[in-house]
Amino acid sequence: MEQDNDKMRRSPRSEEVKLNCKQVSVLLSQAQDQPLSALERLRLEAHLKLCAGCENFMKQLEFLRAAIRRHPLVRPRDGDGE
Amino acid sequence: MPVEDNGHTEAGGQSSLPEQLAAHRDYLYRFALAQLRDENHAEDVVQETLLAAVQKAASFSGRAQLRTWLTGILKHKIIDVFRQQTREALPAGPEHDEATLTDDEFDDLYFNADDRDHWRSFPQTWANPERSLEQKRFWEVFDACTKGMPAQTARVFILREFMGLETEEICKELGITTNNCWVLLYRARMNLRQCLEMRWFDGARQ
């Protein structure tokens, strides 16, 4: 459960410089919780430029966070009783 | 013409504290149920919250909305339950399976087994997601998706996203490692976005 994550955080060897979609998804998730390093951001951007799936994934994560803030129970509108 | 009567809440015509609390009971219950997903536990934490509110009534400044103040107390009660459940679930229980799902096994669900550079189900562009937020049905699907998450994954996700705790706080509250926290948040997000894509944005949308 832990190895992959550790691997990701270590500085990349040359053959690992390019991130795959799985690694990108891990980093995008972490970016929701803490700032990424400059290197991580560079590598992410390089991947996202070429990968529509991961770009969609990133937008979806951003949407999810914004959506939850507007969850009916988190932020009930006045008179919204049912 | 009300003149300078701010703060004078003991005046006649004001409803009593128990009455004011009771008015929020239903909301608190729904809030608790959404997080805890168990009617008995939800009932218990609401009860405890109202009790605590009566005991702490003096510390309620009145500046905050009563509901906000109550929800703050309730959140702590919910975290207590999560902590308890996490402790109890460690040796066995449904979380056991979840914990033993290795990274590789999990990744196999979402990426090609021999090529992690290929999504099994390529994330789509969600059309007008903002508009979904206005729809009651969207939230039903959303809640069903979070309910479908494995228990410990859901707890960590709820603490992070619904209660706004930082990851370090979550680790501390639940007594799990930082890494475990990252992994569960990752899994929750993977799980939720796929569920919404399949059950809402793909076809059933608008």
For residue range B96-118, list pLDDT tens digits in order. 455 567 888 889 989 998 899 99
Contacts with B162 from chain A: Cβ below 8 Å: 68, 71, 74
For residue range B70-99, list pLDDT tens digits in order. 999 999 999 999 998 888 765 444 444 555
A62 inside domain: yes
CA atoms of B80 and B52, how far apart (whole Å): 14
Contacts with B70 from chain A: Cβ below 8 Å: none
Residue of B111, B126, B132 with shortest CB distance to A60: B126
Q: What is the crossing angle of helices B178-196 and A21-31, to 10°?
A: 110
What's B112's DSSP letter? E
Q: Cα B92 from chain centroid?
A: 23
Domain that holds residue A11: 2-68
A47 inside domain: yes
Strand partners, B119: B111
Q: Hey, is B4 helix, strand or coil?
A: coil
Nearest to B103 by CA among A53, A67, A22, A28: A22
A14 inside domain: yes
Instruction: State the pTM of this model.
Output: 0.79
Q: What is the crossing angle of helices A21-31 and B103-110, to 10°?
A: 100
Q: What's the number of domains chain A is made of?
A: 1
Interface residues of chain A, partner chain B, Cβ below 8 Å:
1-6, 20-23, 25-26, 29-30, 32-34, 53-54, 56-57, 59-61, 63-65, 67-68, 70-74, 76, 81
Q: Please give the ipTM for the structure prediction.
A: 0.77
A74 inside domain: no
A75 inside domain: no
A80 inside domain: no
